[in-house]
Amino acid sequence: MKKPNAKERILETAGELFFQRGYSGVGINEIIEKAGTAKASFYQHFPSKESLCEAWLQEMHDRSTDTHARLLGSDLSPQEMAAAYFTHLADFLKAGDFRGCPYSNTGAVSDENCCGILKLIRLHKESTRKFFREIASLSIPDAARAEAIGDRLFVLYSGATAEAQNLKTLWPVEIARDAAVELLS
Amino acid sequence: MKKPNAKERILETAGELFFQRGYSGVGINEIIEKAGTAKASFYQHFPSKESLCEAWLQEMHDRSTDTHARLLGSDLSPQEMAAAYFTHLADFLKAGDFRGCPYSNTGAVSDENCCGILKLIRLHKESTRKFFREIASLSIPDAARAEAIGDRLFVLYSGATAEAQNLKTLWPVEIARDAAVELLS
DNA sequence: CACTTTACAGACAGGTCTGTCTGTTTATCT
DNA sequence: AGATAAACAGACAGACCTGTCTGTAAAGTG
């Protein structure tokens, strides 16, 4: 517990740095220095910086999948689920200096060459969209309408994250949460 | 008209490149090569790459201010104004290979050192927020409610732009436009 | 014509980046 | 103890970056 192996230390350190300063703003040298490993060790575990980024995105995606499942499996009402998820976002942003969505931020500096990264971003976004659609389907009988409302929740969530980052404030999240609760009532 | 001066050529070329590949993905050397100027000429007009970025953001902001004023001064209904603005966004994204919001994308790679850039981003975002609040105030008598609805439109607009970029598709814009029209009715 | 401004051409310095390489040290397992 | 795997340390190459510098050519103005 005190001393995980090199791969885990690299992944954890890189995650923090990528999140704080963006994928393109952090170099391998800084990562290995802060993780306390040698460069050779890094390239033994990850063939490239890009693959490290993919591992990071995948790890976060797995965690968020768990969160979605836990919320959907809870006994909260749909409105409460959505509200809890937006509150979770607010806590996340507050704790992380309003750095916004790691997926969107990474996508903003990835060209079409990084297709592995772009694929993971889309995977996560579609998964989040599906999560909101499922919430919506719990309180809206009409399936087509539920899908449309779920998509609206998704767009609200994304906009709240983006603008909280740009403006370094929490009101977009609160606005989006209120709108989401209204949409589900 | 065929041959603007060096400064304008640099600004125009840099604008296209920054938009297509992001601020951090484009170097001075490429800009001046594509603009057909010398490096010395560049540094005669712009003290740094960062100041070039600020000029670019400022230029776009001025244009969007015009668009806002024109829309607000038109004889369209509030719903039509919002719908037109989202349609404008759809056209913009389609024409630009779904590169998303230049301000948000630039902000994602700027740290707190680039305070001039960050200030312009916030300026533009607050200005867009105000634009949506004014639209909302045209169809919602209660001032406080109008402000809240305007903020929702703003968050929807931002989320639509972000997710259209991530997913390379137009449905977030259509979803947001429908939601906006509903909010204003 | 002389002068000044503007732009061109491109070398250069000093730094950062990814990724490769050589070699040493530590830990684990039989 | 001996063997094997993992991690260490760090130099190095090659590319790219911003910004500075020297010098030349063209264009407008008195």
Is A96 within 8 Å of chain B by CB? no
* Tens-place pLDDT, residues B36-72: 999 999 999 999 999 999 999 999 999 999 999 999 9
User: What type of residue is A178?
Assistant: D
Phi and psi at residue A149, in whole multiples of 5°? -65, -40
| CB-based contact, A27 to chain B, within 8 Å | no
CB B169 within 8 A of CB A126: no
State the pLDDT at residue B3: 56
Q: In this structure, which amino acid lies at residue B122?
A: R
CB nearest to A162's CB, from B151, B159, B179: B159
- Is A176 within 8 Å of B155 when comparing Cβ atoms? yes
With b for 16 or more beta-carbon neighbours within 10 A and e for fewer, the B51-62 pattern comes to: ebbbbbbeebbe
Sign of CA dihedral A3, A7, A10, A12: negative
Q: Which helix (H) or strand (E) holds B30?
A: helix B28-35
Do residue A37 and residue A56 come from a single domain?
Answer: no
Q: Is B148 on the interface with A (CB under 8 A)?
A: yes
State which residues form the domain around B152: 49-183
CA distance B172 to chain A (A): 7
**Per-residue pLDDT tens over the stretch B97-121:** 999 999 999 999 998 889 999 999 9
- Sequence-distant (6+) residues with CB within 8 A of B43 are none
Same-domain pairing of B133 and B108: yes
Chain A partners within 8 Å of B167 (Cβ): 122, 125-126
Whether A15 and A55 share a structural domain: no
Residues A9 and A91 in one domain: no
Whether residue B22 and residue A109 make contact (CB cut-off 8 A), yes or no, is yes
Distance CA(A162)–CA(B126), nearest Å, equals 13
Whether residue A54 sits in one domain with residue A142? yes
- Report helix, strand or coil for B185: coil
Task: Output the distance from A40 CA to C20 C1' rounded to whole Å.
Answer: 9
Cβ B87 to strand D below 7 Å: no
Domain co-membership, A152 together with A65: yes
Task: Kindly state whether residues A90 and A38 are assigned to the same domain.
Answer: no
Q: How many CA atoms lie within 13 A of B47 on its CB side?
A: 2
In order along its 185 residues, chain A shows pLDDT tens digits of 335 688 899 999 999 999 999 999 999 999 999 999 999 999 999 999 999 999 999 999 999 999 999 999 999 999 999 999 999 999 999 999 999 999 999 999 998 889 999 999 999 999 999 999 999 999 999 999 999 999 999 999 999 999 999 999 999 999 999 999 999 99
Mean pLDDT (whole number) for B131-154: 97
Q: In this predicted structure, what is the pLDDT of residue A3?
A: 56
- The contacts of residue B89 (CB under 8 Å, 6+ apart) are B157, B160, B161, B173
Q: Say yes or no: B111 and B26 in one domain.
A: no
Domains: count for chain A: 2
Query: CA Rg, chain A, in Å?
Result: 18
Q: Distance between CA atoms of B131 and B153, rounded to whole angstroms?
A: 10
Q: What's the alpha-carbon Rg for chain B, to the nearest Å?
A: 18
Tell me, yes or no, whether A39 and A68 share the same domain. Answer: no
CATH of the domain at A55: 1.10.357.10
CATH number of the domain residue B16 falls in = 1.10.10.60
Query: In this structure, are residues A10 and A32 in contact, taking their beta carbons and an 8 Å threshold?
Result: yes
A43 touches strand C (CB under 7 A): yes
| Cβ contact A177:A86 at 8 Å | yes
* CA–CA distances in Å: residue A5 to residues A34, A57, A122: 14, 20, 30
State the Cα–Cα distance between residues A40 and A34, nearest whole angstrom: 15
> Do B114 and B38 sit in the same domain of this protein?
no
Based on the domain organization, do B65 and B4 belong to the same domain? no
Q: B16 with B63, same domain?
A: no
Q: Residue A38 CB closer than 7 angstroms to strand D? A: yes
